[in-house]
Amino acid sequence: MEPNDEEFEKLLKGFKDDYEIRSTFIEKHLNKFIKLLPADLKAAGVRFQDPITGRIKTLESALGSLGRRRDERMKRLGLKKRMVAKGRSWEEYWNYRKKPDMINDVGEFPDNDSMFEALHDIGGIRILVYFPGHVGEVVEALKRLEGIEVIRIVQRGQKFAPDMYELERSVNELEGKLVQDDLIDDKIFSGYRATHVHLRLYKGQALIEIQIATVVMNAWSEVEHKIIYKPPKAPSKEEMRILDTFNGIVMIGENALIQLEEMIAREEKARLTNSKTFATGIYDVGKWIEDHCADRNRLSVRGRSQTWKYLQKLLDVLEAKGEHTSGQLKQLIDNLSEKDFDEAVLSRELPLHLMKQRCQVHENEIADVPNIGLVRIMSLIDERRNALPSVLFKL
């Protein structure tokens, strides 16, 4: 099937007409998400570079991306025909890889909506973490956020798209062709790498892309992009070799960061065993809660770590009386009944349940704690924050 440039130009006119309205709409939700995201990541114990930044594609950039996406769709259509001709199911291929959304991502765009759907990065956010191991933690934290739908997770480099590369290899093998790795060049190291997560925000109203990479890998990316992709002239072979060497240094640096991260984790574990250690922030509180629960096999309800709500509130309450220690948190967790604990974990409100257990609310404020509920307790904490120990607790 040959590209239908006339029909594409008609769709493109509608795309241009709609772009300002749609991109403004996405930008509104993107900015809202950026404001909320840091607190969620901190609650998940992720250490990242603040502030988190975002951007909206210009129309010119979007048109360039759209042209490349169209080329990819047409190329996939050709590969689909070759695959089917060899008796292989196109649907089974993508379902096996757990990417059913790719089944219909072939051929010409049928309408303007499909064009905008293909541009998952009109709104983009970049999250830079200090340790390579925290890339996965960011992904898990995003999966747990309310009102957010994770569409796909893609591992990306600057040279090629893994899905297309694997598809081409599979079709060539079906046809009995010699498979040559055309990615091999003079480079020794693999270049830029990052994790891209495509999300729908707030009940599907906006599609955005989040790029997650380490701080050191991002530094490499900035240097390479300026020299290779936006130069006044093409880089020389010597410059390319120097960039390749720099990339190797970055990769060695990431390996060193992994070792450093493991050392810090061991030190944190040692701190956890000291019941008199004070929390220095919500990172400590969240980590201590999860480690203590995991030690007692009490996080098996979910089978993975949580992004706890109200960690800062819990820290404020305990810190007000100097009780923000590892030992105090352990005791509060151990005193919870299994039923209360399971409910707290499933709702991600374990810190709130620990506060409820800790607080003995003054009888002049509230006569019946069970009936007022957790939300009322939280509002009282906010109202009486300055007089927290005397108003809310009988110690």
Residue 104 pLDDT class (50, 70, 90 cuts): very high
Rounded to the nearest 5 degrees, what angle is found at the Cα of 121, between the Cα atoms of 251 and 47? Answer: 45
- pLDDT digits 0-9 by tens, 53-91: 999 999 999 999 999 999 999 999 999 999 999 999 999
Residue 152 pLDDT class (50, 70, 90 cuts): confident
Q: How far apart are CA 323 and CA 329, in angstroms?
A: 9
Looking at residue 379, what is its pLDDT? 56
This prediction's pTM: 0.64
Query: In the chain, what are the domain boundaries?
Result: 5-250, 274-392
Looking at residue 322, what is its pLDDT? 87
State what percent of residues in the chain have pLDDT above 70.
Answer: 77
- pLDDT digits 0-9 by tens, 309-334: 788 888 988 888 888 898 888 888 88
CB 151 within 8 A of CB 207: yes
Lowest-pLDDT choice from 18-22, 358-362, 364-368: 364-368
Residue 296 pLDDT class (50, 70, 90 cuts): low
- pLDDT digits 0-9 by tens, 331-365: 888 888 888 887 787 777 888 888 887 874 333 44
Please name the CATH architecture into which domain 5-250 falls.
Answer: 2-Layer Sandwich (3.30)
Checking if the pLDDT of 303 tops 50, the result is no
Averaged pLDDT for residues 224-253: 72
Bridge partners (DSSP) listed for residue 25:
none
From the centroid of its chain, how far is CA 262?
21
Q: Identify the helix (H) or strand (E) that includes residue 249.
A: helix 237-273
CB atoms within 10 A of CB 142: 21
Q: How far apart are CA 276 and CA 324, in angstroms?
A: 9
